[in-house]
Chains A and B, each alone.
Chain A
């Protein structure tokens, strides 16, 4: 493929704005309605299942949004150039955070269906849970979640605001400022994200603990975050907004990241599983038994093959990562198995047999519609390429 080499930032053609057709808008809106309906009906027939679905999707889509925030901050800190032309995609992913905050408030309503430690009568009869109640109590839980959202929201808003401001005035100082914001933010992010994972997922089984859990969730976050970024980048490239500035070398790099985190996730998942299996301690092994034995064996195996083995081989070759269609297919695949990973962490609490029905599909579709609508609304509003970023020229000319 022939690439234009630009010698000056002014030569780069102004990209057309990103638009999504009205029809698609209505389809996604329809999905949201389906999701609300499914959740409301499920709430009446089987509230436990409805709330577990809600938690699953809340966590899943929040991670995708946070992946954008993390990626933007990381690119500023490392001074990356290759990712500049496509940076608006992860910036737009941040736009879902306010929506997620509203969903968090809804999630709080279902706390008794999800978290054993919110039942005072049970905590009082459990010596271990009494000890933990200094941490696992609802007001502190809510405060931690609010604090995390406050930090993510403020920093996300600030970074994007500076980036958009630069589109107008081209001030190099804004890039430097964003770098200064991003570095300490990444530290705070590491802590707040870990706390959130411990709170939302690990405390579902309040007796169980695993120090690697935050890293496990982070591996999934970055892995699936690359997948969703690839999908939006390709959509914008097809539609024309990124056609002149993003080429297969950018896709190749996104694909490499996805490949790297495929292996990293496997490494972390193996470390957690193997150490718990090997030590076989009663306070830890229950978690793995519930998730790998009986009817859950196929799910665990599907995760092993679907999230690691198959994408590993699919993404291994250079051509695979540079082929737009192929990469999109793998990205969709990865997103499916990220969902399965969350399902595998959350649903064994509902019963010894995995369940899958209209509730899972419907509620997932609702969140999908909400997420895509929010992100595309943001993308339509902002210029699709940071045209005055000092690193744009190098990024557009990225030929490996």
Chain B
């Protein structure tokens, strides 16, 4: 039967795909020897990762002084990168949890890759507070546990500690959610395996999935519960990251809109990263029939909406800075827009508020080159948003004698590069070893197995 489409609805998948095609097309890239292109990209990412490890060793040896941080600017690119990557890690859970609750079936083609991206992005983000600790080998002091250091406890009133809880909870739930979703697909990969080692490894990972009705029943319930649990986490993680700033007394940091503003920004940047990655993935792995223009267009719509939410927050903050009548508040915002970091501020406004406006046009939001460029612009803009927030509020504080400027050193920039190497190494490994599309979920959106109008044939 032809899929019945109401107004403005389009088929999610490319034409004439059968259930067997889904397995075939999605598993193909995993089952052949990696292509040259993959090796080249992986080589670059892994080299950058290695360079980053060298930088970590260098910093451990030399001390924190190798960074560009100075007296008023105690947080710089390190925390910028932390917030940036945490933000990237928001789209995955939004797609898998919130869109699931909203019955958005188009999520099925993109949720796997987006969730993988989430997990790797959170891992990448986690590096920065750890590196920033200085005495990195005491990282476990972040956790509250009974100890013999005169029973020295963590400061429960500090939002930095809340971050530890929020990020680790988010990571755990996202990982479990992702893994539960993977189980039926891992079983498919196992069943297709041609050699014993492969069958053994995927067999262990598939946890004995047989696809019985009872299995599916449990699976669906677990999935729904995890979706419910993850939904508040999408809001909580970046809200708590925003508390790092907003609980302070610093103009430009202390403002009540920060929690929802950071969440909107996180979803915005997360979706931009998903678009960047999936435009490449669908091309390289020939998945154009699964990740179609419908999916990409929907994501671009979300980018447009969340971009305007972020714009609302910029405007609201700026207006309130004036409206407050507080001279420090107003100075900070004037300094953002016209001070030494004005270039960063205007990069942020142009990239995050103005560039996505192109997506009002249906033609542009369905054009692959346009969306690819805009997604990159948005990624850059969101990085600069965090940089602007962090640096401009710190570098000129209440006493002009304290004023200074923050100039990142090669170590700061090296760490930024390192984060991309780290992220892409994991992401490329994921593309090689796991199905990049949730096969079982995509099948549920297909209209197969029903009567074909002409004859009595069934499509399987």
Contacts and interface: CB of A to CB of B under 8 A. Distances in A.
Contacts of B239: 267, 271
Contacts of A278: 247
Nearest to B263: A267
Contacts of B260: 212, 215, 267-268, 271
B324 A283 contact: yes
A215 B312 CA distance: 11
Contact of A281 (B254, B312, B323, B325): B254
B8 A211 contact: no
A272 interface: yes
Contacts of B101: 256
Contacts of B326: 283
Contact of A79 (B7, B247, B324): B7
A293 B242 CA distance: 27
Interface centre among A81, A263, A275, A278 (most CB of B within 10 A): A275
Interface residues of B, number: 32
Interface stretch (A34-42, A128-136, A229-237): A128-136
Contacts of A393: 6
Interface in A204-225: 207, 209-215
A390 B256 contact: no
A391 B7 contact: yes
B325 A390 contact: no
Nearest to B242: A271
B249 A281 contact: yes
Given A212-B256, A212-B257, A394 B6 contact: yes
Given A209-B323, A267-B239, A215 B249 contact: no
Interface in B141-187: none
B232 A211 contact: no
Interface residues on A, range: 35 or more
A211 B320 contact: yes
A149 B320 CA distance: 23
Given A271-B239, A279-B254, A209 B320 contact: yes
Contacts of B6: 81, 390-391, 393-394
A65 interface: no
- Centre residue among A132, A198, A278, A281 by max chain B CB count within 10 A: A278
Interface string B44-58: 000000000000000
B8 A275 contact: no
B316 A214 contact: yes
A127 B246 CA distance: 27
Nearest to B312: A190
A214 B256 CA distance: 11
A172 interface: yes
Contacts of B323: 132, 135, 198, 209
Nearest to B256: A212
Interface of B: 6-9, 101, 232, 235, 239, 243, 246-249, 254-260, 308, 312-313, 315-317, 320, 323-326, 360
12 contacts: A132-B323, A176-B7, A187-B308, A209-B324, A210-B256, A211-B317, A212-B260, A215-B257, A268-B260, A274-B247, A283-B324, A283-B326
Interface of A: 79, 81, 127-129, 131-132, 135, 172, 175-176, 179, 183, 187, 190-191, 194, 198, 207, 209-215, 256, 263, 267-268, 271-272, 274-276, 278-279, 281, 283, 390-391, 393-394
Given A131-B325, A190-B308, A281-B254, 14 more contacts: A127-B325, A175-B7, A176-B8, A183-B360, A191-B315, A210-B320, A211-B256, A213-B256, A271-B256, A271-B258, A275-B243, A275-B254, A279-B254, A283-B324
